[in-house]
Amino acid sequence: MAANSSNGEQQTTSKPPPLPSPLRFSKFFQDIFADMNPNTLVLPVQSNMRILVTGGAGFIGSHLVDKLMENEKNEVTVVDNYFTGSKDNLRKWIGHPRFELIRHDVTEPLLIEVDQIYHLACPASPIFYKYNPVKTIKTNVIGTLNMLGLAKRVGARILLTSTSEVYGDPLIHPQPETYWGNVNPIGVRSCYDEGKRVAETLMFDYHRQHGIEIRIARIFNTYGPRMNIDDGRVVSNFIAQALRGESLTVQKPGTQTRSFCYVSDMVDGLIRLMEGENTGPINIGNPGEFTMLELAETVKELINPEVEIKMVENTPDDPRQRKPDIAKAKELLGWEPKVKLREGLPLMEEDFRLRLGVTKKI
């Protein structure tokens, strides 16, 4: 059972998690379990782990699926409504006997049998989550309720990919998990950041009330191959602009900061959190902090020194600074990021060149 919450208070529960669904025993594992007592029940190591990844056709989700599929004991099911994700991200697994892809919207109930749920489904780029804010908040609230209902019914452990946006425009820097945030509840970003805050609340309420095993990751800005070319987020924008020979659009004032984590580090952190003993919330991100002007200069230097940098208008409530305190991830998960920004950008450039059909001049 998981340990204390981030505030150091005993907010977790020692209630036993619900028993796995009877199908867990009848369909796949007849005769394996002699002892059905939930307190002593240990799943045999030789059994396959049935893992659901919601939002698995998206950027982080598809990299997570790649990593999970490396383990021959994992059977992976993805559900996705393809709003910002694509089957193309999963093409190498389609038809694989341990892989299943279901077109499904998490705002509708889902009845399947699984042991673990990585719940990622939610548009993450501000352009996309603001496009239909009511749908975004439904995805965060009703979608998370549905996945918690599923976890409760089948006794699965569930991990939520929350976000650094729960800290809003932070007044404490860097942000530890104990910080409660500075969030505008009625702004244009609220569908996402307040939505994720409610999702975190639901996770803890299901944990305390029903004994559900929960894990919460607070993800900081993540980048890497497979981001949508016109995703709208800053790293993908700058790389696509540099490769197309367009000006890099720095939103004013340009001094706002972000900390960028390469996607392989992120996936490693998420799996460690799921497999570990702590509920979280735990920050997962790279503490290397850059202003948007510094990021633009770096992309220009590495990818196309000929492009210009132009200042453009910003959008409301843009957080002015953001950097994770990752002491907890280091201590509890033995995790810290390995890939520096200057190493990760060229890996992403390679993928964007292929997709945009822009070859490198030698």
Ligand X SMILES: NC(=O)c1ccc[n+]([C@@H]2O[C@H](COP(=O)([O-])OP(=O)(O)OC[C@H]3O[C@@H](n4cnc5c(N)ncnc54)[C@H](O)[C@@H]3O)[C@@H](O)[C@H]2O)c1
- 341, 220 contact by CB (below 8 A): no
Q: How far is the CB of 328 from ligand UDX (least distance, A)?
A: 19
Measured from the CB atom, is 24 or 129 closer to ligand X?
Answer: 129
Site string for ligand UDX, 195-234 (x = CB under 6 A): --------------------------x-----------xx
SS3 content of the chain, % helix, strand, coil (to 5): 35, 15, 45
Q: Report the alpha-carbon distance of residue 64 to residue 182 in Å, rounded.
A: 30
Mark the segment that binds ligand UDX (CB under 6 A) among 59-67, 87-95, 245-253, 340-348: 245-253
- Judged by CB under 6 A, the chain residues 92 through 131 that form the site for ligand X are 105-107, 120-124
- Token pair in block for residue 296: 């633009």
Active-site residue, 192 included: yes
Choose among ligand UDX, ligand X, none what residue 123 binds, the Cβ cut-off being 5 to 8 Å by kind.
Answer: ligand X
Choose among ligand X, ligand UDX, none what residue 81 binds, the Cβ cut-off being 5 to 8 Å by kind.
Answer: ligand X
Return the residue of 6, 52, 53, 55 that touches ligand X, per CB under 6 A: 55
- 267, 203 contact by CB (below 8 A): no
- 337, 290 contact by CB (below 8 A): no
247 lies in the site for ligand UDX, by CB under 6 A: no
Cα 153 to Cα 102, 107, 113, 142, 206: the distances in Å are: 20, 17, 9, 16, 12
Q: Report the alpha-carbon distance of residue 167 to residue 2 in Å, rounded.
A: 24
Return the residue of 57, 242, 273, 307 that touches ligand X, per CB under 6 A: 57
Return the residue of 64, 137, 199, 250 that touches ligand UDX, per CB under 6 A: 250
Q: Report the alpha-carbon distance of residue 93 to residue 88 in Å, rounded.
A: 10
Of 290, 241, 285, 247, the residue nearest 266 (C-alpha): 285
124 lies in the site for ligand UDX, by CB under 6 A: yes
Return the residue of 74, 84, 175, 190 that touches ligand X, per CB under 6 A: 84
Determine which one of 129, 192, 206, 262 is catalytic: 192
Measured from the CB atom, is 221 or 278 closer to ligand UDX?
Answer: 221
Amino acid (1-letter code) at residue 271: I
236 lies in the site for ligand X, by CB under 6 A: no
- 283, 175 contact by CB (below 8 A): yes
Of 249, 256, 243, 238, the residue nearest 299 (C-alpha): 238
Cα 302 to Cα 165, 254, 296, 355, 360: the distances in Å are: 29, 19, 10, 18, 12
Q: How far is the CB of 287 from ligand X (least distance, A)?
A: 15
- 236, 228 contact by CB (below 8 A): yes
- Judged by CB under 6 A, the chain residues 156 through 175 that form the site for ligand UDX are 163-165
Q: How far is the CB of 10 from ligand X (least distance, A)?
A: 27
Choose among ligand UDX, ligand X, none what residue 318 binds, the Cβ cut-off being 5 to 8 Å by kind.
Answer: ligand UDX
Amino acid (1-letter code) at residue 251: Q
Measured from the CB atom, is 125 or 304 closer to ligand X?
Answer: 125
Mark the segment that binds ligand X (CB under 6 A) among 32-40, 54-62, 206-214, 354-362: 54-62
267 lies in the site for ligand X, by CB under 6 A: no
- Token pair in block for residue 251: 């939103």
Q: Which residues are catalytic?
A: 192
Residues near ligand X (CB under 6 A): 54-55, 57-61, 80-85, 105-107, 120-124, 139, 143, 161, 163, 219, 221-222
